[in-house]
Amino acid sequence: MSAIIWILLILAAGAAAGFGGYTYRKNYVEKKIGRTEDMARRLYDDAVRKAEDFKKEKVLEAKEEILKAKAENDREKAENEREMRERRNEVQRSERHLDQREETLDKREETLNRKSQSLEDRENNLNNKIADLARKEAELDELKQKQQAELERVATMSRDEAKQIIIDKVQKDAYHDAAAMVRDIEFQAKEEGEKKARNIVALAIQKCAADHVAETTVSVINLPNDDMKGRIIGREGRNIRALETATGVDLIIDDTPEAVIVSAFDPVRREIARLAVEKLIMDGRIHPARIEETVEKARRDVENQIREAGENAVFETNQHGIHHELVKILGRLRYRTSYGQNVLKHSIEVSHLAGLMAAELGADVQLAKRAGLLHDIGKAVDHESEGTHVSLGVELARKYHESEAVIHCIQAHHNDVEPQTVEAVLVQAADAISAARPGARRESIENYIKRLEKLEEIGNSFDGVEKCYAIQSGREIRVMVKPDDVNDEGIRVLAKEIAKRIEEQMEYPGQIRVNVIRETRSTEYAK
């Protein structure tokens, strides 16, 4: 019973399961079919919507294309209209320009017609004038021939002879003009040359220290031993600084054994420093206080030496009554040299020479000697004051009440002014003799002779020169010319050419004067 029940239960359960499965499947299939239909409907709706959107998009694109085409058409139309306006404007401008040219051409044609008429009138006038001129020219030629024949008859010379006279006159005038031009050029060159020369000399002095400069600007002090150099220098250089400050010179202490060099352009300062250092070496006490005291004593000693040198020069030349300050300044020339020649000795020598020549000529001996002694007085202060030694000497002589005759001799001894008295000329000559004599100035006899020979050789190398002499120790060349070959105007040109060749071919100190002399002599003998 129970088994049948279980079987019935199982069958009932299976039937129930089958019915439930059928019912589920039926519901599932129906739902799936419904979903599929919904999906198909949605796809259809989407397709319809997309088709509508695509249609609208294409319609919009078509409208945009139409608008673009219309805008492009409008732009092209506007561009065409603008070009048409420009072309119309250009055509109008061309028409106006052509109208203006046509008007201008009409005016020009009228002007040319008027000018043509005027030119025809002028041509007729010119033809008439040419005919008149030709007639007058023929008359002038005939008159000129008659006048020339009359002049030849009156002057008793031919046409060629008269032409030669005119050529000679023109040539002489040309020489005169050339000489005047040379003189003007020389004057201008001297004015400009003085300024340039100062700069050139200053630069040359800075770049070149010759042996002569070293010899005349330094003094050597011998030392007992090399240990003395350290004592002169002092601790941290205080002694040498005190010496240089007190004396105004440069002390050079180098590797030179047992020697100290004193360097300065001022010879008086250099002498004071030399004496002071020698006294300090002898004394042995070297310190700043002692240095100042010793330098002061050396300065007094040098001043005494200067005064004594001036008094001795005045006594030797027998020129009393000179102001005592001028005597002191004269004594300073003891420490001044020129080309290696002591200026004080040179002044005494010039004084004696000028006095001797004045005595021979019957001139004022005392004036000549006094002027000769004082002629270079300006060299004693030319390193302290501006100006040449001549101008400085004139100022000193006038300051200390020397006579105008002496002042004139000082002023004229280098031709700064033209000498007006015999004594001034004698001082010039004595100065040249003292400086030019062999041995007076530092120059070897071989170089001296070679320089004179070279000067004479240059002078004799020119045509028309008869004789040539180098004088004043080569500071002047005197050229004698043949009067038949060189005229009065030609000597100026010849002097210029000789001076130019000397400048190109020679080296020399100072300047060389070129004197060209032309003279005509006629000699007869009474028998």
Q: How many CB atoms lie within 10 A of CB 8?
A: 10
CA distance 193 to 218: 32
- Residue 204's pLDDT is 45
CB 222 within 8 A of CB 259: yes
- Residue 176's pLDDT is 67
Compare 194 and 475 and report the one with higher pLDDT: 475
- Residue 277's pLDDT is 83
CB 392 within 8 A of CB 374: no
Per mean pLDDT, which range of 197-211, 242-256, 343-357, 368-382 is the poorest?
197-211
Structure token digits, residue 315: 């006594």
Note the residue count of the chain. 527
Q: How confident is the model at residue 211 (pLDDT cuts 50, 70, 90)?
A: very low
Structure token digits, residue 164: 């030669």
- 3-class SS shares of the chain: helix, strand, coil, % to 5: 75, 5, 20
Compare 224 and 442 and report the one with higher pLDDT: 224
Per mean pLDDT, which range of 87-101, 133-147, 437-451 is the poorest?
437-451
CA distance 20 to 14: 9
Q: What is the largest CA-CA distance in the chain?
A: 223
CA distance 372 to 432: 11
- Residue 154's pLDDT is 66
Give, in order, the Cα–Cα distances in Å from 90 to each of 76, 78, 99, 103, 278.
Answer: 21, 18, 14, 20, 109
Read off the pLDDT of residues 395-428 as tens digits, 9 standing for 90 and up: 988 888 888 998 899 888 887 788 889 888 888 8
One-letter amino acid for residue 61 of the chain:
E
Q: Which helix (H) or strand (E) holds 476?
A: strand 476-481
pLDDT above 80: residue 124: yes
One-letter amino acid for residue 407 of the chain:
I
Give percent above pLDDT 70 in the chain.
84
Give the angle subtended at the CA of 380 by the CAs of 379 and 384, to the nearest 5°.
Answer: 95
- Residue 339's pLDDT is 64
Give the angle subtended at the CA of 229 by the CAs of 223 and 232, to the nearest 5°.
Answer: 105
DSSP state of 261: E
- Residue 439's pLDDT is 53
Distance from the first to the final alpha carbon of the chain: 223
CA distance 298 to 272: 5
Q: Spell out the SS3 assignment of 395-431.
A: HHHHHCCCCHHHHHHHHHCCCCCCCCCHHHHHHHHHH
CB 441 within 8 A of CB 341: yes
CB 393 within 8 A of CB 382: no
- Residue 197's pLDDT is 55
**Range among 15-19, 193-197, 207-211 rated most confident:** 15-19
- Tokens 């011998």, residue? 222
Strands 465-471 and 341-342, by their bridges, are unpaired
Q: How confident is the model at residue 80 (pLDDT cuts 50, 70, 90)?
A: confident
Tell me the mean pLDDT in the region 219-237: 77
CA distance 478 to 491: 12
Per mean pLDDT, which range of 206-215, 236-245, 343-352, 435-444 is the poorest?
206-215
Q: How confident is the model at residue 205 (pLDDT cuts 50, 70, 90)?
A: very low
DSSP state of 260: E
- Residue 415's pLDDT is 79
- Residue 411's pLDDT is 87
Q: Which helix (H) or strand (E) holds 176?
A: helix 159-207
- H helical segments located in 284-335: 288-317, 324-331
CA distance 55 to 49: 10
Give percent above pLDDT 90 in the chain.
0
Tell me the mean pLDDT in the region 144-149: 76
- Residue 69's pLDDT is 85
- H helical segments located in 437-483: 445-460
CA distance 111 to 130: 27
Compare 201 and 65 and report the one with higher pLDDT: 65
- Residue 208's pLDDT is 36
Of 210, 305, 228, nearest to 267 (Cα)? 305
Q: How confident is the model at residue 437 (pLDDT cuts 50, 70, 90)?
A: low
Per mean pLDDT, which range of 256-260, 306-310, 392-396, 405-409 is the poorest?
256-260
Q: How confident is the model at residue 209 (pLDDT cuts 50, 70, 90)?
A: very low
Tell me the mean pLDDT in the region 226-231: 76
- Residue 184's pLDDT is 74
pLDDT above 80: residue 445: no
